[in-house]
A = this chain, B = another copy of it.
Amino acid sequence: MGVSLKDVAQRAGVSIKTVSNVVNNYQHVTPKMRAKVQQAIDELGYRPNLTARHLRKGRTGIIALAVPEFGNPYFAELAGAVVDAAARHDYTVLVDHTAGLREKELLVSQGFRSHVIDGLILSPIHLETEDLMAREETAPLVLLGEREYEAPYDHIAIDNVAAARTAVRHLLDQGHRRIAFLGSRTGRERQPAHLRLRGWREELAAAGITPDEALVVVTDGYGREDGAAAMAALLDRGERPDAVFAYNDLIAVGAMRTLTERGLDIPADVAVVGFDDIEEGRYGTTTLTTISPDKEAIARLAVDSLVERLSGKPVPEPRRARPGYRLVVRESTGPRRTGT
């Protein structure tokens, strides 16, 4: 197949070790020697075999990122940021998706393909603390996202409760009182959308409003269609909120579609706030007010944490990093802007 160290050594008339030294930029090589070897390398078009190197060193230079769905732009955008962050540490990213299936999440966390990857960044939806505690795989794992765990792993997530409260606060400030929450999901044990729902409850309560559970809509998933269906279900059962806080932007987009179909004006009749700040929300007929997590920071923190553990340095405590976020106000809650 390819050109090996041995071939280069033969060509240059030196030992393998010397070539290796040159390739790895070892300090103590005479310039003359280095030049000779480099010439042989160039002539033969030698490139180191990473597989062999990895076998020898026990690491692959690949980290895995597992997210629920690429179809969700939030994760797509996040994946891009992770790839870039990893590249800065000379790591390659292997991207996987779990389809939001607990089975798949388990498989991935248990070390599916573990010999190919040095570490894993996982954004779980259904995984429970027990699953994590039962994990036998030794490759470092960094968790991403809203779920909270009592397991000893690094966890990178914005303060979801506070962020949700910020969103609801904004709605309250605009004078809205009947604020619905779209995208609750009843998991077997806990609710994945737990924290954002809690933020909704807390902020309403803080404003002296009793959270109306009739305004909480459970969805099957976190996509546009789920948002559209949820909004339709809410309206169909006779509830007419004056504002909607959606679990994420996709649900918000779906909800807006339903509102438009029903002839309701956004934000005059119903204001909408999303979560994620996907680019899509900046371009609709009505642009979307949303919570914007700092995706670059999330990606960077996740990769940095992983790389640090990979470096072998003893990292004492599982760390909980809290990247920033901000409320981005757009047309779906503000004064509507039309060309007329």
A residues with CB within 8 A of B: 1-2, 45, 47-52, 54-55, 58, 60-62, 69-71, 73, 76-77, 79-80, 83, 92-97, 111, 113-116, 136, 223-224, 228, 253-254, 256-257, 260-264, 279-280, 282-286, 337-340
Contacts and interface: CB of A to CB of B under 8 A. Distances in A.
15 contacts: A49-B115, A51-B60, A51-B115, A60-B116, A69-B80, A70-B80, A70-B83, A71-B76, A92-B94, A94-B94, A228-B283, A256-B285, A257-B283, A260-B339, A263-B338
B261 A337 contact: yes
B283 A285 contact: no
Given A52-B55, A284-B284, 8 more contacts: A47-B114, A51-B51, A76-B76, A93-B94, A224-B282, A260-B339, A264-B339, A285-B285
B260 A111 contact: no
A115 B47 contact: yes
B97 A95 contact: no
B70 A97 contact: no
Nearest to A286: B285
A152 to B, nearest CB: 20
Count copies of this chain in the complex. 2
Contacts of A339: 260-264
A131 to B, nearest CB: 17
Given A2-B115, A284-B257, A79 B52 contact: no
A182 B69 CA distance: 30
Report the 7 A-B pairs with minimum CB-CB distance, sorted nearest first: A263-B339, A285-B285, A76-B76, A50-B115, A95-B95, A70-B80, A70-B76
A94 B261 CA distance: 41
Contacts of A52: 55
Nearest to A57: B51
A196 to B, nearest CB: 21
Nearest to A64: B92
A45, A70, A93 pick with most chain B CB within 10 angstroms: A70
A116 B254 CA distance: 41
A51 B57 CA distance: 11
Contacts of A54: 51
A298 to B, nearest CB: 15
A94 B113 CA distance: 12
Contacts of A136: 45
A80 B97 contact: yes
Nearest to A54: B51
A69 B73 CA distance: 11
B60 A70 contact: no
B73 A71 contact: yes
